[in-house]
Chains A and B, each alone.
Chain A
Amino acid sequence: MKYKSLIFSIILMSVTLLASWTVPALVQKMTDDSHSYPLMYYSARLKELCVIDFREHKNSFYDIHGNEYPRAQYDSLLPLLNYRQLAMEGQLPDSLEGQAIDVKILRSKQVMFRFRPVDIFSPQPAMGVLLEAMPKRGNLTLPGDYFRMDRELTFVDAQSNSVNRQKSEAFTKELIKKGFSFPVKAYWGNPTVRKPYEEGYFCLDSKGALFHLKMVNGRPFVKDTGIGSQLDIKWFVMSETSDKRFYGYLFGEKGEMGLLESTDEGGYRFLPFDIRPVDITKDEISILGNLLYWTVRISDAEGMDCYGLDAVTLQSLSSYHQDRKRVLWDELSEWLFPFRLSPSSETSFFVNLYVGNLSSKGLAVSFFLALLTFFLCRNKVSLYRRILMALCVCAAGLSGIVALLFLPWNKYE
């Protein structure tokens, strides 16, 4: 049969690639440990960022300067984190820093936000749903139609599966009237009825202007936010919070991150966070905010940066950096595998052939293994195959050795 050697080469390479996924994945499962960072929170009492890790230190927590505090003082030193517990015990203070507090106020000012790169690199909804922003009965309900937005805004009625021409024209005309330039680049909303109120969608037009679109009493409400002229917008995350202070989190092309706030005059304002530039393709962001201070945590493959911010100005009051903890898997993978292939990624929802964990130490070990393979197989296979096998082991290390075990050892050459 023709192409014997070519067929063998293709099988060898395919099995090596497959082993470069499965073998490191198995070794990682056996040796990996948690890379999670401790809970960080800016204390309104200590005026400093606190590091809370009761798994490592059962009876105490620390501030970022290493000062230790007993666990018994956890609630009282972090009153805005543990206000429910303090209120239950009747120990919630009446005021903090001159501001009257009670459970209702604290709950309305509480902010919790989490962003992962996967939120961007995942299939986005093909259609949107515009809820009534001023519902007659108070609670939000699905309107019965969904919209698609490309070169115009088209509403499709779900029951009849047909386009609602009248509504589509009314909304498209209003958008064009307010200066919206089709086709739309992106639109972001929060398509759920499980939220306190509806703020519709923010739409980025073809010229980079950000428009606010919502439905009020069945009619379109469209407004140019004016933010597009101040910021090159990359991404937006809608967040309808209880105190209606802001619409959501804006990310710029140059690593800016900030709030899209509503002004007293009914306008829009971009309020940047005083933090390091953010790369939303790699950084995971979490925010824990309260009436007085916000704690912002940004982590990537290298480590975690944490900031304590003033809740009003978002200016940094304190910051802290912690390197990513190295575990047994990190040490082993460096030596055993020159690279690793995986169909999934921590930063993307899409299945792809992701190459990672590139290591020069692994390549050095692989080279030694390749030499060993070349000489040990000298009586078993032809020189061509030996070279090919050695190359695969050199490229894939331990994965290459495992791949060789799965190959047919032909004796008919």
Chain B
Amino acid sequence: MNLFRALSYKEWMKTRRLIGVMLLLMAAAVGYTYIDLTHAIRLNEAVNVWYGCLFQGTSVAPWMMYLLLLAGIALGVVQYVPEMTQKRLKLTLHLPAGETQIMASMLWYGFSVILLLCLLLSLVLSAVVRLFLPSEIVGMMLQQLLPWIVAAVAGYGFTAWICIEPQWKQRMLCIVVSVGLLSMLFVSSYPGAYSQFGAGIGWILAASFIFPFSSCIRFKYGVQ
């Protein structure tokens, strides 16, 4: 078996249970959105629900703000905490491949999983919401989900950065920086507020991918 396929398989073994739980949670979230929306339409009439979404910025699925970020952080914890507590990372970095490539493949695995989950959720949620609301409101919902999806992906990367960091003092500083960068994605929850934040999104995503390598270097050099 190819080394990187084997590495991905190792990551899959570590995270498969969590992925299952996340899929269940996301299915529950979509189910709840369906119930919540039909309930609101029964009680307040469709015309008022549409009005709230179009003119008052009412969110169709507001709890996604927390759910997606938590999913990203949980995946990072499940993937990297065992590596650190059971000293597996040291062995992994001694495999017959470049350390950068090994680390990148582990990160790519996580980024791909969390991105796929978010895209799947967005797709199913859009299909459900479209049953009752026009394409404009579905578009607004997707615009609202965008910074939260980025937060999930970046949250995973920053969690990896924090988990791999070998020194507790530096780990605390990493947490502060991560919270600062992620908080940029929660300045506003109004749909469409992040439509001009492309450069910022690119910066945060790039940072979340590159920062873990810094901890990896420090870990490799045995910083205590």
- In the complex, the answer to whether A123 meets B200 with C-beta atoms within 8 Å is no
Is A353 engaged at the interface, CB distance under 8 Å to the other chain? yes
CB distance from A413 to the nearest CB of B (A): 9
A-side binding surface: helix, strand, loop or mixed? Answer: loop
Bitwise interface map of B from 186 to 224 toward A, beta carbon under 8 Å scored 1, else 0: 011011111111011001001100110110111011010
Q: With an 8 A cutoff between CB atoms, is A55 at the interface?
A: no
Say yes or no: A351-B196 contact (C-beta < 8 A), given A1-B99, A18-B180: yes
Bound-complex Cα distance A144 to B48 (A): 9
Assess the A411–B223 pair: CB atoms within 8 A: yes
* Beta-carbon contact of B195 and A406 below 8 Å: no
Q: Does B7 interact with chain A (Cβ within 8 Å)?
A: no
Segment touching B, from A7-15, A34-42, A293-301: A7-15
Considering only residues 361-413 of chain A, those with a C-beta below 8 Å from chain B are 405-406, 408, 410-412
A191: Cβ under 8 A from any B Cβ:
yes
Do A126 and B137 touch across chains, with their CB atoms under 8 A apart? yes
Does the CB pair A343–B190 fall under 8 Å? no
The verdict on A161 contacting B98 (CB below 8 Å), with A353-B199, A410-B221 known, is: no
Q: Which among B73-81, B112-120, B128-136 touches the partner chain? A: B128-136
Name the residue on A nearest B170 (C-beta).
A408
Bound CA–CA A63/B71 (angstroms): 62
Q: Please, what's the 1-or-0 string for A224-262, where 1 marks a CB less than 8 Å from any CB in chain B?
A: 000000000000000000000000000000000000000
Chain A, interface size category, equals: 35 or more
A350 at the interface (CB under 8 A from B): yes
Q: Would you call B193 and A351 a contact (CB within 8 A)? A: yes
Which one, B134, B140, B223, contacts A410 given CB within 8 A? B223
* Given A18-B181, A349-B190, A351-B187, residue A158 in contact with residue B54 (CB < 8 A): no
In the complex the two chains form, is B214's CB within 8 Å of A11's CB? yes
Q: Are B218 and A123 in contact (CB under 8 A)?
A: no
> A319 within 8 Å of B by Cβ?
no
Q: Assuming the A-B contacts A126-B140, A353-B200, are A410 and B217 also in contact, with contact meaning beta carbons closer than 8 angstroms in the complex?
A: yes
Residues 151-197 (chain A) with a chain B CB within 8 angstroms: 156, 158-159, 161, 191-192
Given contact pairs A158-B50, A412-B223, A22 touches B180 in the complex (Cβ within 8 A): yes
Closest beta carbon of chain A to B1's beta carbon, Å = 25
Q: Please state if B214 and A161 are interface contacts (CB–CB under 8 Å).
A: no
A2 is an interface residue with CB less than 8 A from chain B: yes
5 A-B pairs in the complex with CB atoms less than 8 angstroms apart: A11-B214, A18-B180, A18-B181, A129-B55, A412-B218
